[in-house]
Structure 1
Amino acid sequence: MAFNIYYNLLIKTTSRVVFDAVTLPEHLNNWWTLKSSGVPKLNSEYNLNFTDTYNWFGKVSKVKNNESFHLKMTDSDKDWNPTTFGFDLKTNSSGTLVKFSHVNWLKDNHHYRRSSFCWAMLLNDLKNYLEKGIIIPFEKRN
């Protein structure tokens, strides 16, 4: 049995702006990572660095400009390694509906539940970053 995390949120901006924010390192570093690298192309590698201890890697498993972006973790925490997370974007009259998923967790354990909580907080940070220009310094992100 696999365990999954799903969230939907509306961000009042275009799908291109959201796509850039979840794929380009200069934006990822403003709401999620300490430093990151990668390009949104199928099978390309992303480095997601949070600290020297949490220096993770993932491979782009799905990408369609301004519509979807998914990373399959390849070198990370043992609980994250089998997982894939991603963003599917749907434009509507109010902005962009972000359908977030983080799937294929092997256990319903502390790390799974903590990650679910963290994603909720981070997605709110993403929304505030894109709608209000708020950047929370990395060391103050929970």
Structure 2
Amino acid sequence: MSYNIYHNLIIKVSSKAVFDAVSLPEHLNNWWTLKSSGIPELHSEYNLNFTDAYNWFCKVSEVKKNKSFYLKMTNSDKDWNPTTFGFDLEAKESSTLVKFSHVNWKEDNHEFRNSSFCWAMLLNDLKNYLEKGTIVPFDERN
């Protein structure tokens, strides 16, 4: 059995703007990571650095420009390692429906539940970043 996290939200920008914000390091660093690297191409490796103790790696497992972007964890926290997270984007008239998922957790434990809460907060930061240009300093992010 595996456990999954799902969140949907509307962001009032184009699907290209959302795609760039979830796949390009210069944007990831503005709402999620301390510093990151990677190229949104299939099987490309990403480095997601939060601190020296949380310096994680993953690979692009699915990418469709302006439509979807998924990363499979390869070297991270033991609870995150078997997981894949990503974004499906549906362009609307003047906004984008973001369907977020983080799947294949082995346990419904503290880290799973904490990560679900943190993703909800971070996705709100993503929304505010894209709609209002708000950048929360890294040390103030949840």
TM-score relative to the length of structure 1: 0.99
Residues of 2 paired with 1:17 and 1:79: CA distance? 30
> Are the counterparts in 1 of residues 84 and 104 from structure 2 also a CA contact under 8 Å?
yes
- State the Cα deviation string for residues 21-75 of structure 1 (Å, max 9, x = none): 0000000000000000000000000000000000000000000000000000000
Residues of 1 paired with 2:72 and 2:139: CA distance? 26
Residues of 2 paired with 1:61 and 1:141: CA distance? 26
Identity of aligned residues (%): 77
Partner AA of 1:56 in structure 2 = W
Structure 2 gaps of 5+ residues are none
**What's the secondary structure of 1:93's corresponding residue?**
coil
Aligned to 2:18: 18
Structure 1 gaps of 5+ residues are none
Alignment of 1:49-128 (within 5 A): 49-128=49-128
Residues of 2 paired with 1:5 and 1:42: CA distance? 23
- State the Cα deviation string for residues 78-109 of structure 1 (Å, max 9, x = none): 00000000000000124000000000000000
Residues of 1 paired with 2:21 and 2:7: CA distance? 17
Give 1:7 deviation, angstroms: 0.5
> Are the counterparts in 1 of residues 45 and 60 from structure 2 also a CA contact under 8 Å?
yes
Residues of 1 paired with 2:55 and 2:64: CA distance? 26
Provide the aligned length of Structure 1 versus Structure 2: 142
Residues of 2 paired with 1:100 and 1:124: CA distance? 12
Partner AA of 1:95 in structure 2 = S
